[in-house]
Amino acid sequence: MSTKTLEQVESQFETFQILDENGKVVNEEAMPELSDEQLQELMKRMVYTRIWDQRAISLNRQGRLGFYAPVAGQEASMLGSQFALDKEDWILPGYRDVPQIVFQGLPLYQAFLWSRGHYEGGQMPDGLNVLFPQIIIGAQIIQTAGVALGLKRKGKENIALTYTGDGGASQGDFYEGMNFAGAYNAPAVFIVQNNRFAISVPVEKQSAAKTIAQKAVAAGIEGIQVDGMDVLAVYKATNDARKRALAGEGPTLIETLTYRYGPHTMAGDDPTRYRSSDLDDEWTKKDPLVRFRKFLEEKGLWDEEKENEVVEQAKADVKEAIKKADAAPKQKVTDLIGFMFEDLPANLREQMEQYTAKESK
Ligand SMILES: Cc1ncc(C[n+]2csc(CCOP(=O)(O)OP(=O)(O)O)c2C)c(N)n1
Ligand SMILES: [Mg+2]
């Protein structure tokens, strides 16, 4: 391929945006059809998530949560996309994608139990089509291709949607999953939340490609790059991708350009060692809540009172949820073994007997 051809391909992937940094509509014809209530609901979810994120970070510091990957900065990317889903669609999340599965129906206390590594946190309520948040980078892409193909074979009017990061897009599984989904025309949507870093490795060091969206080309599927700080653009792109998938027009790769304000996880990385404060400032100016708040205020759909209501609700819910998580029975080894398989293999049966005896003492 000549350099010219590469440039032609790359230049097609411009960032799709509806609201600019000041909350002004820059792409009226792309405006999704959402009612005033739906617009307010999107804002509520983003404000709620930011508060819960702050509370979770503080609970983690107090030793009251386990694994936690902060989400501030990524609210539009996470919640705009989830908002486009039907209740029966499938979500295959990564470890950071807890807000999406909570708004899809996972009770908050279970999300906290998941954070603590408690088995009850991974037991999805009946009817909630969500897989356990994936820790293995990129593994959920292949699983999504499989789930989507299953939905198609069963004649369901639903899609499988997955989230990974820029780091996930550097894994072999990513290409394999997209390629398979494309080949079988499976109703899958792959979202790559490009927050510019895989822990400390910048996206520029992970790939020579100018965009992650263009990686769709080789898989023969649709690809789009979206302003991930613009909740309306993320919603619109996901909704369109979902419709295409259900119409038999194939999978879509959506790259959302976003940023995590906090550390990678609460396990102790220090972002000031791998990110400049200039870059932090540049992205803080794009904040998804600030721009959407301006847009809604202009329409008379948002004010301080509404904001405070959501803040108080989020604080109260977190308090309640952590109390409920604290009340969960202490996890036993037999619980872990018992929930792994429908029929226990011989070696685990043996361990089960040993631990049952031990725990009954
Ligand atoms: C297969 C695999 N390799 C390495 C790791 C260690 N690891 C955990 S998070 C992470 C970075 C992922 O970055 P990205 O996909 O951009 O997601 P983000 O954390 O930025 O949301 C790595 C390398 C892992 N969990 N799995
Ligand atoms: Mg990343």
Query: How far is the centre of ligand 1, averaged over its atoms, from the C-alpha of 213 (Å)?
Result: 19
Give the confidence band of 132 by pLDDT, cuts at 50, 70, 90.
very high
| pLDDT number for residue 361 | 86
Which atom number of ligand 1 is nearest to the Cα of residue 69? 19
DSSP state of 169: G
Task: For residue 184, indicate whether it is catalytic.
Answer: no
Find the length of the chain. Answer: 361
* Chain segment 217-237, per-residue pLDDT in tens: 999 999 999 999 999 999 999
Task: For residue 293, indicate whether it is catalytic.
Answer: no
Average pLDDT, the chain: 97
**Mean pLDDT, rounded, for 265-280:** 96
Tell whether domain 3-328 is in CATH 3.90.1010.20. Answer: no
DSSP state of 262: S
Contact residues for 297 (Cβ-Cβ < 8 A; gap 6+): 303
* Chain segment 94-104, per-residue pLDDT in tens: 999 999 999 99
By most ligand atoms within 8 Å of CB, the mutation choice from 141, 174, 199 for ligand 1 is 199
Q: Is the pLDDT of residue 277 over 80?
A: yes
* Chain segment 111-131, per-residue pLDDT in tens: 999 999 999 999 999 999 999
DSSP state of 120: G
* Chain segment 37-94, per-residue pLDDT in tens: 999 999 999 999 999 999 999 999 999 999 999 999 999 999 999 999 999 999 999 9
Query: How far is the centre of ligand 2, averaged over its atoms, from the C-alpha of 321 (Å)?
Result: 28
By most ligand atoms within 8 Å of CB, the mutation choice from 137, 166, 190, 259 for ligand 1 is 137
Take residue 271 and report the two structure tokens written for it: 């972002």
CA–CA separation, 213 and 241 (whole Å): 13
CA nearest neighbour of 139 among 88, 87, 174: 174
**Mean pLDDT, rounded, for 257-266:** 98
Residue with tokens 């993320």: 234
Q: Where in the chain is the domain with CATH 3.40.50.970?
A: 3-328
| pLDDT number for residue 340 | 81
CA–CA separation, 148 and 221 (whole Å): 15
Pick the catalytic residue from 264, 275, 291, 293. 264
| pLDDT number for residue 1 | 56
**Mean pLDDT, rounded, for 334-341:** 88
| pLDDT number for residue 339 | 84
- For strand 188-194 and strand 197-198, is the pairing parallel, antiparallel, or unpaired? unpaired
**Residue 337: strand, helix, or coil:** helix
